[in-house]
Amino acid sequence: MSDTVTIKFPTGESYKQPTGIFINNEFRPAQSGETSDVINPSTEEVITKVSKGNSKDVDDAVNAADEAFHEWSQTEPYQRSLLLLKLADLIERDQDIIAKIDSLNNGKALKWAKTDVGLLIRSLRSTAGAYDKINGRTIDTSNDYLTYTKREPLGVCGQVIPWNFPILMWGWKIAPAVITGNTVVLKPASATPLSALYTSQLVKEAGFPPGVINTLIGSGRDAGDHMLRHPKIRKTAFTGSTEIGREILISSGESNLKKISVELGGKSPNIVFNDVESKIDQVVDSLIFGIFYNNGEVCCAGSRIYVQSGIYDKIVSKLVEKTKSLKIGDPFDKDVFHGSQAIKSQFDTVLDYIEKGKKEGAKILVGGERIGKKGYFIQPTIFETDNEDYSVVKEEIFGPVATISKFTTVDEVIQKANDSEFGLASGLHTNDLNVALEVSNRLQAGTVWVNTFNDLQESTPFGGYKQSGFGREMGTEVFDNYTQVKSVRIKFDHKNALTEGKV
């Protein structure tokens, strides 16, 4: 199998796609010679085959990262920053290709794939700019001591990313790891590896030393599990389901007590108050973006919509109208808002939840069906609910399905919003600053968006409460995931120094 193939986009352009495992700045086949198919979810056709690594390939990647760590951890932070900035420049140069790769491999609308790449570039540059701000502190204990702390890297970081934001998650993981002096073995989702492999070649072009960043494709149950338990990996970062997050915590305890950060599931509330009647169109656009952006495959999606009784009917009417007008289909069509679901198993799961919602008594206001017979397309769907115990209200669906229900008081909606084991994000829409502050303070979520939703920004930390995980992406808080604190305490002997005439 060649390590590179030519792939043609539906728009007519072609590009060279690496297909091997990326270790020590080189692509190579898996030791077993195994490959796996990569599917275009919009057509259900095979795009290409990629090398499928196993535990032996993980060992090779980890050994390369471990060897590189000794020099990389001692590299001047400024030099690490320059390389990360160069990588951002190269991604900016190739951003059109990278966005199209994600649309082809993931099924998301090209406009949103371009948004992902833009945020990635900004995130890399923001992280690079923090190289001289990842500091310890001095502690004034007395004149007899100099006491200070310093932040040091952990070592080899094993990173596992999901299929819903392939290239954005790649950058969110590697940037804070390498700027703090760690090295990386990253496993993209088996279904969506192409953009991570393409961008890995830019790592070498940017000038990163061999072994600092390694990308390995393989199954979660083989390569992934071996990464989680590998004795040379000192840190695991994972984005994905809460179920797998629990397994990661167990694997850390059963191996070498790796440091863990996990960004897991969500079932985010999105609340609308009566006082926004003057801007209903703007609010409805935000609700639509909150749930149907990225085909609904967003861990923080605003999938539980709560609308105050005085404006409820107007919001429902306008929301149904605008949802019906969304263009769904070929992600390369510039007018398409909503592409296909990314993988067959999740496509089936979403359809199963829709049927479950119908059987439990939830009322479909719009959508609820598969589109066509080819490709994983589902109509954007909204259920009207009067029972918080419905599965479609309580459980994460991870697709283009929202529920909407009515509330009367602030206390009532806060109780409903917080009645979840998830706490990744939340949103509210109001013109009243007092309401915005009170509700924001009472919501149990890692992010609260006010008069907006899914509004990520590279210097703002993102992560969850409760079973949505712990640790943060972006912001200065992300560096807590990738450093350990050393305390140094030096005692001075003033009396001896004076006696011996040294001072």
- Active-site entry in 263, 297, 396, 473: 263
Does the annotation count 263 as an active-site position?
A: yes
| Residue 460 CA from chain centroid, whole number | 14
CB 412 within 8 A of CB 309: no
CA distance 14 to 380: 32
| Closest CA relative to residue 266, chosen from 233, 232, 240 | 240
**Number of helices (H), then strands (E), in the chain:** 15, 24
- Name which of 240, 228, 62, 248 is nearest 155 in CA terms: 62
Residue 51 φ then ψ, to 5°: -65, 140
CB 390 within 8 A of CB 357: yes
DSSP H or E stretch at residue 470 = strand 469-470
Quick one: which H or E segment has residue 350? helix 344-360
The candidate with the shortest Cα–Cα distance to 427, out of 265, 283, 268, 293, is 268
Report how far residue 150's alpha carbon sits from residue 297's, in angstroms, rounded to the nearest whole number: 39
Question: Cβ contacts of residue 468 below 8 Å, gap of 6+?
Answer: 242, 263, 264, 265, 266, 299, 422, 423, 424, 445, 446
Q: Are 326 and 337 in contact (CB under 8 A)?
A: yes
Distance (Å, whole) CA 88 – CA 208: 13
Q: Give the residue numbers marked as catalytic.
A: 263
